Chains A and B, each alone.
Chain A
Amino acid sequence: MSRLLEGIVEAFRLIISFDPDLLQIVFLSLRVSGMAIILSALIGVPLGAMLGLKEERKTRFFNKIIFTFMGMPPVVAGLIIYLILSRQGPLGVLGLLYTPSAMVIAQVFLATPIVIGLTMVGIRAKGSEVEETARSLGAGSTLAAWTVVMESRFAIFGAIITGFSRVIAEVGAVMIVGGNIAGRTRVMTTAIVLETRKGNFELAIGLGLILLILSFVINSVLYNMQKGGKKD
């Protein structure tokens, strides 16, 4: 219990002191996961919308694949990306392994199926009803599809929030492809693992607490955006 309290105190000390190493880790975490979720949204939302607008029986096979990938263990994702980016891999020539770019790729690989799957489910929930209403009012196929996406925007935001939560908290994939190099690829989750192994539990708990606070702040902002600014 005392370790936990010491960790909380340590967290506040780190935050108040604007520790440069900590800030570097925090900003890298946000940069990597932020970039990953933006890319995942750009890929996942249109794909999810496209699948959601199709009849369920026509996308059954894809649904199964996507739902499987939604639950992919981060270490497996990391391993796959590692093999692709390693020197002997198909993209080894790019020299991306152990860089933040590799970490972004791994997180995109993890978050995109979540964004696709949840967008698809959200759109499918009321999609046909909205589409028919739009068409009955004279919308062409493009406007009708756009209306369905706009009407499902809360679900889509929910998909993006879930995707972000998944990548900001994962450790396996970024550890494998990033290597946890101090000052270069060390993010909050990998730093927590390292400090725990070193026995610096206070620092590890402090970092964990900061990660939770950051996650809370970001999710609160996204949640308010999802609700369209409506008050409870």
Chain B
Amino acid sequence: MNEIIKAYDKEVLKIDKLVLKKGCIYGVIGPSGAGKSTLLRIINLLTPPDGGKLCYHGKPVPPNGHDRLELQRKMALVFQKTLLFKDSVYNNVAYGLKARGYSRVEIETRVISLLDQVGMKELTFRRADTLSGGEAQRVAIARAVAFEPELLLLDEPTANLDPGNIELIEGMITTLAKTKDITVVMVTHNVFQARRIADQVIFINQGEIVEMGTTEKIFTEPDHNSTRLFVEGKMVY
């Protein structure tokens, strides 16, 4: 992305340049209201930017039409507030596959295998609205990776979960990213989580990328003072 600008009442995002590498896990950190979620929505083509240029594999994103939908289908976004459809766990995970026209047999194979992978096979035909918070989040992530997107966007995927579920979901994300070669961009307010699972960390403050680098560098020798303060848990506005 180049010179991306997004404003609502005031400017919330201003990104000069951001390039994502395939297969990498990015942790996006920053204070509340820094523009992290807006960044994910713009990448997922849900929110159009007010200015700037978005490219995918070097080609500009089409403004509309079938090509844009095809491009959108290469990505998946898991929202901070999990919304599972009022249907079975199976049909939730199968949703994206059905949207892409996969055959019934292929859908069944993928869904069952994925639910097995995330430890939810026993709950395959349970109604999704009867799941616990941790189970629901696992289903949401399974649903997002079922069609093996090239880019997986996660907005606070472990917010409000207990440590056991956090560990489980972090394990899922890293395993899926490495085994399926999926690029992951994960927004998290938890800097320790970014440190645990991200290869690269992006620190955003007041709508701008302050610093981006390897996790090691950001946590041990950041270039900017505000980055250092933030990863040390100090107040940064």
A residues apposed to B, CB below 8 Å: 126, 129-130, 132-140, 143, 147, 150-151, 153-154, 228
Contacts and interface: CB of A to CB of B under 8 A. Distances in A.
Contact of A137 (B81, B86, B144): B144
Contacts, number: 50
B77 A136 contact: yes
Chain B CB within 10 A, most for which of A133, A140, A228: A133
Interface in B40-85: 44, 46, 69, 72-73, 75-79, 81, 83, 85
Interface string B91-108: 000011001100000000
Nearest to B98: A143
A3 B222 CA distance: 88
B72 A135 contact: yes
Contact of A132 (B46, B76, B85, B100): B46
B36 interface: no
A143 B85 contact: no
Contact of B147 (A138, A140, A143): A138
B143 interface: yes
Interface string B16-49: 0000000000000000000000000000101000
Nearest to A126: B83
A130 B147 contact: no
Contacts of B44: 136
A147 B79 contact: no
B186 to A, nearest CB: 15
Nearest to B40: A136
Chain B CB within 10 A, most for which of A132, A137, A147, A228: A137
Given A129-B81, A136-B77, 4 more contacts: A135-B72, A137-B99, A147-B85, A151-B86
B86 A136 contact: no
A63 B75 CA distance: 36
A143 B99 contact: yes
B76 A136 contact: yes
A151 B72 CA distance: 22
Contacts of A154: 86
Contact of B96 (A130, A137, A140, A153): A137
